[in-house]
Structure 1
Amino acid sequence: MDDFIEIQLGSSFLINAGICGLIKLLEFSKAEEGMDYEINGQVMKLSKEFLMSRDISDLYVKAMVNNFKETTRFYDILQKRHIVESIYAGKEELSKDDIDNINKIFKEAVQMLEKNSFKSGYIILNEYYNISKITDEIIARLKKEKNLEKEIGAYLEICNILDKPEVQEVLIFKELMYSKMNMFLGDTSFFLSANLKKDIRECYKKDFVQPLLDEVAGTKKKTKRCIECSNLAYNTKSISFMIDSTDDVSRKKSHYWNLKPDAFVCPVCAFLYTLVPLGFQFLGSDAIFINNNSSINAMCRIMRTYESKDDENLQSTNKSKFYRIFTDQKIDMLENKIYNIQVIIKSKNKEHFEINVISKDTIKKIVDCKKHLKHLERKYIKQNDSFISVYDEVIDNIFFKRSQYQLMHELFLYELKNNGNTNYIKDILMIEITFRGGVSMNSIKKNVDISWRAGIAMRNKLTETVQEKDIDNSLRSLVYKLSNALSVGNCEQYLDSIIRVYSGKGIPIPYIFKECYESEEMFKAIGQGFILGLKYNDYESNNKINIGGE
């Protein structure tokens, strides 16, 4: 037991994300499970020998770079070297398009190379790795040279420098500091202004690795209590370096720790904090972590499902990508004894974490609504100068336990105003009924389908002599009346309009409308179903989703 340090899943998602990050670091280092570390349920044991014998600072930098490399601007721009070479190779004369493409690549490269974070990286590479700096003069040649051949020569010279492993590690890490890591970490170690031109590994070793090693190897009496794991330690560190966890402790102000000024953690937990960026999964500029306390392996397995989905379905919002995991049949949450989990989202443009606690029942209902949610993934409406994701609005209503009827009413009026397709709103209606649940859920769904088909039949009857292009306009008055009555819950007014339209056509009123008196919920569902039937289109128009008879 003394040969290992013990790490447990905690109540803090930060520590749990750090554990996921630690496992990624161990896997990158080719550490052997069973020898270098052990995982048993909620407990992980990490070999002291592994920590003492390996260069943890070097592993930290390399693991970060390896994990995020292909998502960086640096990687993208360096890959474009092959585009320049392929355009230039074997051509006696370049077309205007060729020259424009090359100049665009050069401009992107210059913008990246002139960033202050990269300039500090050049100094580190020169002073600590004895690698020639990318000077302002070299960049100026690429920026101002009028002779294309010389300009390409300067570009390739720069690429040769950027291609060196040491250069890639330092500059990619510098980019990650301000694109991903600063969403979680700041004001410590390599982030401090005094350390920006110092060796990253040495800064990290001094502030996090050496205290960890001293803690592991030390024999002094431990007297300081860690706020995370509650263990005693020789030394503790303020958690003020964690973004959205606390402000400077000296100000006695804290967000995450409920305004407690005594927010200090042991070296083990501080080390885990620095691995939080590795534990989260990034989709675009946002990051997600699924905090599942059932076991370490289950938590990591869930997070791995995102790794193959980063470029999938690019038209979907990040939120739809985040929550699609709960409809993935490979996830065995429903079979395991998981009663509540946290979904933590950190957006680049938001100061705080977004935390949703999702019950097992909610997960099951999301799975049940998989088909309907899928239909909404690419559905947007324009509001002023921006586009609103219908999927996001529906998901927010689910997690904030709001009814979908107000959203359905607003979407219906929007589509009515813009002559849009309303078919997708039926998906939202079915989601609403599913989440309302209850013993009458299946009965309500059945009645919605009946009223929806009645609406389609009435649409056909009312428009049988109307030209295709005029159909929606001919129904507009009736649809508005029904929609307004439904939005205020006026069953009598709604049914009065129904009676008038059926009587006017000499058609028997479908028995389904009698069910409207059963309950307010039944009235809303049947009423909405009939209106959606009146507006139903059996074709796909203007990139709207066609749900047919589903």
Structure 2
Amino acid sequence: MGEKITLKMGDWLINSGIVGLCNILKHSGDQVEVTSQQLEFDVEALENFEEKYFKYLIDKYEKTLSWYKIVSYEKILQYHEDNDFDTFKDDDLDKLNKYIKDVLKYYLNSASYKAAYGVMDNQLDVIKLTKELETIKLKKSEKIEDKLQDIKDAFKKVQVLIDYCKEADSRKYLAAKNVIYTIVKNAWEGICFLNPQTKEKDMYLDYKGYFIEPVKDYVEEDKKKYKYDCFTCNGKMKDMKNDLSFLNNMGFDVSRKSSHVWNFNNDIAVCPICKLVYSCIPAGFTYVYDRGVYINESTRLETAININNNVKTQILNETDINANLTYRGLVYAINEQSNEKMKYELADIQVVKLEDGKYRFNILSRQMLNIINTSKDDLNRIIKGGFTEGKDYFNIYELVIERILNNQNLFLLIHKLLVVKITSQDTKKVRFGTGQVVRIMNINKRIMEGMGYMEKANKDIVGLAKNSGYYLREDYKNKKAKDKLNGIAYRLLNALKTSNKNMFMDTLLNCYLYVQKTVPNIFMEALRDDEKFKTIGYAFVAGLIEGKDNENDKDKKNGGNE
């Protein structure tokens, strides 16, 4: 047995690095010991750690990489060749041209790929081959059959490039370039292979020399005479060279910004072991489309590893990876964790998100965790709903989860959605139905009850109120007065937004006088409680706007899951 390295949990930053380091070692088959608050492993596990580091990131994020976009086209090549191009049509030619122009030529001629070619064993002249590969255009009088030989020739050239990229050495270096600029750079930069002035062209050797060798030397050193303490683990250090300036949005250049520290004298530095741990943050976080998420479960390391790996698995296993998956993965992991029969209670947790290049923090209370868990079905039904405003598209699921993470109620969002539903007639811009808005009302009702702002109702006040709106809508349709409903809905929404019960009830009474019906008893509940008033009122307006007929079909058509 060799010497061991022990890492103890601390703040979210070091915790995400420890989770990442553990993921890397486990992925490579190394033995690690995970106890309640710490990770322990043999120093020997750091042998070839630079290979393990990149292999983990490449394996996990493979389908998101440009390298994968290149090699995955091989299935299409094989399909058409096996069928002797019998099914090759105009749209297939368009796809081939797009692949040649936007994938092969674009990526294989990129600066990062060109830098990788010099350290690879296979010295195929990729640049020359991509120049020889041209897109194929059909003239007005030409058909696919007229260009079939050109297409077959293009397929052969494409296959040569794909075979080159599929080689182990190509995957090792080209895919590594991908994870450096799409994954690693989210957490840290400016040093090692992310230093523009680095002299080492091989990113594996660069990482080894910068992060691994110093740890091996540090472990063997006699530290009795060292007078400095590591800022993170309090371990002894001989100097203050290892500052945190390389960490995005966390560190700073101590030589240029000395005013950031007490008395202009920097006292923030870390030992080589902690610096290695910080380099593993990209393996602890989950990243997609320049966004990241990490759940800082700080009570048990094993739980932190499991819940964050659940997030990663849920996000990266999706066939259609998109921006709102960070929230979907987060919710999935929380639900999975709360469903497990654990010996402890899930406490309040910190959610760390990377958005627009900045870290954002939320404390998700136990109450909100329970709401997410009990709202699983409602959340699943709004995943695909959204709307366009100006040039921006908003996903409803994302908007809801964002507010839950911020411990906010959903009344303003519900109001916004109903206004959008009334004002826009373009189904391409409004891809949700009022059935999905009602799902959000159900979630909001649980939030309000959980926060103690609203008494728990013994009946389905949302469903009853929506049905009341639907029946009033039908009465107006029978009186050939359906055109009046939008104006009525506007007045009701204005009353709800300003919490004006008198305005709401006056409008409501006039409506029921018009159809000569009695006001439903559900509105007696609304008068007793301000939050119930809004809940019942918005549900009523939802029924008034769209009713409940064929609601499921509408939600499906508008991109929902109802």
TM-score by length of 1: 0.86
Q: Percent identity?
A: 22
Residues 158/525 of structure 1: CA separation in 2 closer, same or farther (3 Å cut): closer
Cα contact 1:141–1:151 (8 A) shared by 2: no
- Aligned position for 1:507: 517
The whole-number CA distance in structure 1 between the counterparts of 2:543 and 2:506 is 18
Task: Give the partner amino acid of 2:538.
Answer: Q
The whole-number CA distance in structure 1 between the counterparts of 2:226 and 2:252 is 26
- Aligned position for 2:298: 293
Task: Give the partner amino acid of 1:293.
Answer: S
The whole-number CA distance in structure 1 between the counterparts of 2:511 and 2:403 is 34
The whole-number CA distance in structure 1 between the counterparts of 2:164 and 2:39 is 41
Task: Give the partner amino acid of 1:75.
Answer: Y
Task: Give the partner amino acid of 2:257.
Answer: K
The whole-number CA distance in structure 1 between the counterparts of 2:371 and 2:408 is 15
> Which one of 190, 197, 221 corresponds to residue 193 of structure 2?
190
Cα contact 2:380–2:561 (8 A) shared by 1: no
The whole-number CA distance in structure 2 between the counterparts of 1:254 and 1:63 is 39
Q: How far does the alpha carbon of each residue in 1:232-281 deviate from its partner, in whole angstroms, 9 at most, with x for none?
A: 23455111111222232212279999x99433211111111111111122
Residues 489/256 of structure 1: CA separation in 2 closer, same or farther (3 Å cut): farther
> Which one of 373, 396, 401 corresponds to residue 402 of structure 2?
396
Cα contact 1:327–1:370 (8 A) shared by 2: no
> Which one of 476, 480, 484 corresponds to residue 490 of structure 2?
480
SS in 1 for 2:318: coil
- Aligned position for 2:123: 132
- Aligned position for 2:65: 72
Residues 109/360 of structure 1: CA separation in 2 closer, same or farther (3 Å cut): same
- Aligned position for 2:466: 452
In the TM superposition, what is the alpha-carbon distance from 1:106 to its structure 2 partner? 2.5
The whole-number CA distance in structure 2 between the counterparts of 1:215 and 1:538 is 71
Cα contact 2:454–2:532 (8 A) shared by 1: no
Q: Give RMSD over aligned pairs.
A: 3.2
Task: Give the partner amino acid of 1:212.
Answer: V
SS in 1 for 2:358: coil
2:213 is the alignment partner of 1:210? yes
2:57 is the alignment partner of 1:58? no
Cα contact 1:186–1:241 (8 A) shared by 2: yes
> Which one of 108, 112, 115 corresponds to residue 120 of structure 1?
115
Q: How far does the alpha carbon of each residue in 1:131-190 deviate from its partner, in whole angstroms, 9 at most, with x for none?
A: 315353333223589965654444333333322212210111012111111111211111
Cα contact 1:246–1:256 (8 A) shared by 2: no
The whole-number CA distance in structure 1 between the counterparts of 2:402 and 2:35 is 36
Task: Give the partner amino acid of 1:230.
Answer: N
In the TM superposition, what is the alpha-carbon distance from 1:67 to its structure 2 partner? 2.8
Q: How far does the alpha carbon of each residue in 1:370-420 deviate from its partner, in whole angstroms, 9 at most, with x for none?
A: 222222221111101221122222223333343422222222121112257
- Aligned position for 2:330: 323
Residues 133/197 of structure 1: CA separation in 2 closer, same or farther (3 Å cut): farther
- Aligned position for 2:146: none
Q: How far does the alpha carbon of each residue in 1:511-542 deviate from its partner, in whole angstroms, 9 at most, with x for none?
A: 33333332322322232232223232321327
Residues 95/366 of structure 1: CA separation in 2 closer, same or farther (3 Å cut): closer
The whole-number CA distance in structure 2 between the counterparts of 1:83 and 1:157 is 15
Task: Give the partner amino acid of 1:274.
Answer: S
Cα contact 1:120–1:197 (8 A) shared by 2: no
> Which one of 338, 345, 348 corresponds to residue 337 of structure 1?
345
The whole-number CA distance in structure 1 between the counterparts of 2:337 and 2:6 is 30
2:99 is the alignment partner of 1:87? no
- Aligned position for 1:355: 361
The whole-number CA distance in structure 2 between the counterparts of 1:338 and 1:475 is 47
Cα contact 1:444–1:525 (8 A) shared by 2: no
- Aligned position for 1:429: 441
- Aligned position for 2:144: none
Cα contact 2:233–2:274 (8 A) shared by 1: yes
Cα contact 1:61–1:173 (8 A) shared by 2: yes
Task: Give the partner amino acid of 1:423.
Answer: G
Cα contact 2:186–2:290 (8 A) shared by 1: no
TM-score by length of 2: 0.85
Residues 501/98 of structure 1: CA separation in 2 closer, same or farther (3 Å cut): closer
> Which one of 200, 219, 242 corresponds to residue 247 of structure 2?
242
Of 319-328 and 38-47, the range deviating more from structure 2: 319-328
Q: How far does the alpha carbon of each residue in 1:314-360 deviate from its partner, in whole angstroms, 9 at most, with x for none?
A: 4782244133225624544896333221212224xx12122222111
Note the residue ranges of structure 2 that are not aligned, 5 or more in a row. Answer: 138-149
The whole-number CA distance in structure 2 between the counterparts of 1:90 and 1:545 is 35
- Aligned position for 2:177: 174
After TM superposition, list the pairs within 5 Å mapping 1:241-320 onto structure 2: 241-252=246-257, 261-309=266-314, 310-312=316-318, 314=320, 317-320=324-327
2:354 is the alignment partner of 1:346? yes
Residues 242/454 of structure 1: CA separation in 2 closer, same or farther (3 Å cut): same
Of 439-448 and 181-190, the range deviating more from structure 2: 439-448
2:374 is the alignment partner of 1:368? yes
The whole-number CA distance in structure 2 between the counterparts of 1:416 and 1:490 is 21
> Which one of 222, 239, 253 corresponds to residue 226 of structure 2?
222
- Aligned position for 1:104: 98
Cα contact 2:523–2:536 (8 A) shared by 1: yes
Cα contact 2:2–2:44 (8 A) shared by 1: no
SS in 1 for 2:345: coil
The whole-number CA distance in structure 2 between the counterparts of 1:106 and 1:291 is 43
The whole-number CA distance in structure 1 between the counterparts of 2:330 and 2:259 is 30
Cα contact 2:338–2:346 (8 A) shared by 1: no
Residues 526/86 of structure 1: CA separation in 2 closer, same or farther (3 Å cut): closer
Cα contact 1:237–1:266 (8 A) shared by 2: yes
SS in 2 for 1:290: strand
After TM superposition, list the pairs within 5 Å mapping 1:158-169 onto structure 2: 158-169=161-172
Note the residue ranges of structure 1 that are not aligned, 5 or more in a row. Answer: none
The whole-number CA distance in structure 1 between the counterparts of 2:351 and 2:319 is 21
> Which one of 530, 538, 545 corresponds to residue 549 of structure 2?
538
Task: Give the partner amino acid of 2:410.
Answer: Q
